[in-house]
Structure 1
């Protein structure tokens, strides 16, 4: 029930937002990803065109929202 970032794509919105390798995504737009299929989470992370998505990531012992 965790998705760990291996490496954000160079120049991607995730990289520009500050997502780092080993960040663990726990929520998308405030909603837990627990129990969701990977393809469903990926769809949520990508969001609709021209919209902003907020990811909650676990970074070490800290939880942080990234837009």
Structure 2
């Protein structure tokens, strides 16, 4: 599960930098930057939900002192 989360976080970073690249390259003439940043938001929400679900089902360890 940890590997999946790390891969998704890496995808968030890639999407963030691709959005930045499209902002500079397109100079506001296209909507590629908006699409890239939308993908980043969706991936970020997916990571957040995945972390909550993984913690709830015990796939990720809790804080020290909790089982």
Tell me the TM-score normalised to structure 1 length: 0.21
Q: Higher strand proportion, which one?
A: 1
Higher relative contact order (CA 8 A, sep 6+): 2
Q: Higher helix proportion, which one?
A: 2
Larger radius of gyration: 2
